[in-house]
Structure 1
Amino acid sequence: MKTPPSFWWQPGLSPKALLLAPISLIYGFIAARRMRAAAAYQSRLPVICIGNFTVGGTGKTPFALKLADLLKAAGHRPVFLLRGYGGTERGPLLVDPGHHTSGQIGDEAFLLAASAPTIVSADRAGGARLAETLDADLILMDDGFQNPALAKDLTLALVDAAVGVGNGFVLPAGPLRAPLSVQIRRADALVLVGEGDRADAVIHLAARRALPVLEARIAPEDTGRFAGQRVFAYAGIGRPQKFFDTLRDLGADVRETMSFADHHSFTPAEAQDLITRAEAADLQLVTTSKDMARIAASEGEIFHWLARESDVLDVSMEIKPEERLMTLITDALRRRAFRA
C-alpha cells in the first residue's frame, strides 16, 4: 500500500479532494451497494470482525492479538482469518511460520500465527470453511469489515482518535472505504484507539445508533530500554511518524528516520543502505514488530543481517473496559446460539 496522501487527513475540502470528488461518488456508490449485499456464507463458527472505516493502520493487529489473549483466557479456541495483504498467496491456507515467507502471506499473518492458528485467504468464505476443519470455536477476522462474503456475528470498528476519518471523503478523494453513513450501520461497537479529538463525527454517529464505545491504547513494552539511545528509526506502517514520536517520548535520541509505505517489502539494497547509514553514524537501528516480521521472513543473508542489527519496539494493546468487550462477545454468541 502506498503512503496515503496528506490531504486525506486535512479537515475540509482541499483542491485535490475536490478534483477527485466525482470519482469518489462513483466509488462510494459501488462500495455502499456491495456492503448492503446479503452475506454469501454463514459459517458454523461464530465470526468476530475487527475492522475500520478507512485505509491505513488503526491498530487492528495489536487489538486482534489482545482479543485473542482475552478469549483464550476465557476458555475459547480462536482462529485468525485475514486476507494476507502484501503477500502473493490467495489461499485458503493455514500459516506455517517455518515454511511461509512474508512475501507469500504478508506481515500481519506472522504476528498473529504466534498467538493462534492463522488462515490467509482472499476468499473469506473459503477461509472460514478451512477454519471449520480446525480445533477452533470461533473466528477472529482481521479486517474484512466491508466484505460481504462472510456473515459476521459481531463487528468491532476501530477508529484512530488522532486522525478520525480524515476529511470524511471516500476513496480516492479521502481515506474512507465506503460512505461513513453506510459503514456505521454495519458496526456493532466503536473502539477509539489512542488520544485526540478527530473522531468526534464518528462518535456522534455512534451515539445516534446507540452503539457501545470502547477505548483502546497501544502501549510500548519495556519502556526504559530506549532512554538515551542514539537511534536510527525506520518503519513501513500506516503512520510511521507515530512510531518515531513514540520512541522520542520514551527518551530515545532519534537522530535519523526513514519512512516506507505500509506493508513495504524491503529490497536488498534498502536493507544494505539502512545498515551502512546506521554504522556510519554509530546509531542503533530500531523498527516495529510488523516490519521485523517481514524482514525476518525474507530470504537472503542481508535480511538476516538487518534483523540482527535492528532492535524492535514491542507494543501491546490496552482495552477499556475489557469487561464490556467480553460482554459484547458473550451476548453475540448467545444470540447466535438462540438463532440456531
Structure 2
Amino acid sequence: MKLTTPRWWYERSGRHGRVTRTLLKPASWLWAAATARRIARTSVKDVGIPVISIGNLTVGGSGKTPVAREVLRLLRASGVEAQGLSRGYGGRLEGPVRVDPVSHSASDVGDEPLMLAGEAPMWVARDRVAGAGVAVAAGAQVLVLDDGHQNPALKKTLSLIVVDGETRGDEWPFGDGSVFPSGPMREPLKAGLARADAVIVLLPADAPEADPELVALFGPLPVFIARLEPSGPPPAGPQVGFAGIAKPWKVERALKAAGCDLKDFAPFPDHADYRAEDLNFLADRAALFEAGLVTTEKDWVRLPPEWRARVTAWPVVARFEDEATFAVLLAGQA
C-alpha cells in the first residue's frame, strides 16, 4: 500500500478530520487487537548474536532508516562486524538475499535496504529468522534490524524506538493517540513503549531543543536526541523539489531551511513508484521555472537509471547530540 499521510491525523480542528476519525475507530480497534495477538503468539528465536532493533510506533515518517544507518556506522567504526536486516518493503525478492547496490534496484529489494547497503552488508528477507541465519553464517557479529519493533520473531538485545520530534499534533508526534487507520499509531503508545529499551527523538538540524513535555511521554526510558542533518548543501540555483515519503512536507521545509531556492514542490505517496507521467510532470514543472530537480536519497534510488542524471539527490544523516553516551549503550549490547 502506497500511503500518503493524512494531515488530519495530527489535527483535531476541522469537521472532516473529526468525522473521519470517528468512522474509522472500529477498524483501529481491530488493527490494534490483531497486532497485539500476533506479537503475543509469535515464537521468539534466539540466533546467537546480539540483535539491535530500530523501530517506531507510527506509520512511517519517523526517520528510523537514517538512525539504522548511523547505528551501523557507529558499530562498524568500533570494530564490530555489524550487518543489517530488513523485510525489504516494496521489493519483489523474498530472500534471504544480500543487497547488491550495483545489480539490485529498489524494485528488487526496497528503497531503504538499498540505501543502507552503502553503509554495511545488508540482507533482505521476508522471514526474519531465515535472514538472520544467513547473516550469522556470513560472519555478522551484531544484527541491526530495520523496522523490527512490531516483528517479534527474533530475540532482541536492544529495542530502540525512533520518534519524529518535528511533527506536532494534539499528542505530537502521535496525533491524538489513535491507532491506524483513524490515527498514525501502529499500536497503542503504552503497549509499544513496554517493549522498548530506549527512545530516540529525531529533530531537524535547525530545531531548538526537544520539548520537555515530549520527552516526559516516555517515562523512565532513556531518551537520546538526534538531528537529521544534510550531508551537504542543497543544489545551487532554482529547484523544483519532490518526495515520496510518509511526510513529504518535512522535505519541503528542510530544503527551504537549508537555503534552497525552491520554486515548487510536489508530494507523492510513501515509497511511490515514479511512472513516466509523474516524471514528465516533474520535468515540465522544472522547465516552467527554468529549474533543476531535487529529491531525497530514498526517492532517488527509486528513479529509473536514465532519470538519475537529471535529478539531484539531497542526502541527510542522523547525528546524536550525545554520541559518546549512545555509543556506550551500543557497546554494551555488542
Is TM > 0.5 for Structure 1 vs Structure 2? yes
- Per-residue CA deviations over 1:65-92 (Å, capped at 9, x if unaligned) read 1111111111111111011111122211
Aligned to 1:269, which of 248, 269, 277?
277
Give 2:32's aligned amino acid: G
**Map of 1:3 onto structure 2:** 4
- Give the CA deviation at 1:259: 0.8
Aligned to 2:179, which of 170, 173, 176?
170
Q: 1:40-79 to 2 correspondence within 5 Å?
A: 40-79=44-83
Distance in structure 2 (CA, Å) of the matches to 1:270 and 1:235: 12
Q: Per the alignment, in what secondary structure is the counterpart of residue 193 of structure 1?
A: strand
Aligned to 1:232, which of 227, 234, 240?
240
Aligned to 2:218, which of 189, 206, 216?
206
Q: Per the alignment, in what secondary structure is the counterpart of residue 229 of structure 2?
A: strand
**Map of 1:221 onto structure 2:** 231
Distance in structure 1 (CA, Å) of the matches to 2:18 and 2:210: 17
Give yes or no for contact 2:75–2:330 (8 Å, CA) kept in 1.
no
Give 1:271's aligned amino acid: L
- Per-residue CA deviations over 1:225-283 (Å, capped at 9, x if unaligned) read 546x2110011112111111111112222111111111111112222332233124311
Distance in structure 1 (CA, Å) of the matches to 2:183 and 2:287: 40
**Map of 1:337 onto structure 2:** none
Query: For structure 1, which runs of at least 5 residues remain unmatched after alignment?
Result: 334-340
Give yes or no for contact 2:160–2:198 (8 Å, CA) kept in 1.
yes
- Give the CA deviation at 1:39: 4.4
Give yes or no for contact 1:124–1:149 (8 Å, CA) kept in 2.
yes
Q: Per the alignment, in what secondary structure is the counterpart of residue 255 of structure 1?
A: strand
Distance in structure 1 (CA, Å) of the matches to 2:138 and 2:67: 23
* CA distance 1:220–1:141, change in 2 (3 Å): same
Distance in structure 2 (CA, Å) of the matches to 1:198 and 1:169: 23
Distance in structure 1 (CA, Å) of the matches to 2:32 and 2:69: 31
In the superposition, the TM-score normalised over structure 1's length comes to: 0.89
**Map of 1:336 onto structure 2:** none
Distance in structure 2 (CA, Å) of the matches to 1:84 and 1:38: 20
Aligned to 1:30, which of 14, 34, 42?
34
* CA distance 1:197–1:318, change in 2 (3 Å): closer
- Give the CA deviation at 1:51: 0.4
- Per-residue CA deviations over 1:102-151 (Å, capped at 9, x if unaligned) read 11111111111111111111111111111111122110011021111111
Identity within the alignment, %: 35
Q: Per the alignment, in what secondary structure is the counterpart of residue 206 of structure 1?
A: coil
Distance in structure 1 (CA, Å) of the matches to 2:23 and 2:275: 35
Q: Per the alignment, in what secondary structure is the counterpart of residue 91 of structure 2?
A: coil
Distance in structure 1 (CA, Å) of the matches to 2:153 and 2:214: 25
Distance in structure 2 (CA, Å) of the matches to 1:199 and 1:49: 25
Distance in structure 2 (CA, Å) of the matches to 1:6 and 1:187: 27
Aligned to 1:126, which of 127, 130, 134?
130
- Give the CA deviation at 1:95: 1.0
Q: Per the alignment, in what secondary structure is the counterpart of residue 16 of structure 1?
A: helix
Give yes or no for contact 1:226–1:247 (8 Å, CA) kept in 2.
no
**Map of 1:287 onto structure 2:** 295
**Map of 1:189 onto structure 2:** 198
Aligned to 2:121, which of 114, 117, 120?
117
- Give the CA deviation at 1:181: 1.0
- Give the CA deviation at 1:197: 9.4
Distance in structure 2 (CA, Å) of the matches to 1:4 and 1:26: 20
Higher helix share: 1
**Map of 2:155 onto structure 1:** 151
- Give the CA deviation at 1:41: 1.1
- Give the CA deviation at 1:212: 0.6
Give yes or no for contact 1:159–1:199 (8 Å, CA) kept in 2.
no
Give yes or no for contact 2:263–2:289 (8 Å, CA) kept in 1.
no
Distance in structure 2 (CA, Å) of the matches to 1:160 and 1:39: 30
Distance in structure 1 (CA, Å) of the matches to 2:268 and 2:84: 26
* CA distance 1:197–1:53, change in 2 (3 Å): farther
- Give the CA deviation at 1:202: 6.0
In the superposition, the TM-score normalised over structure 2's length comes to: 0.90
Query: For structure 2, which runs of at least 5 residues remain unmatched after alignment?
Result: 168-172
Aligned residues: 322
Distance in structure 1 (CA, Å) of the matches to 2:312 and 2:105: 21
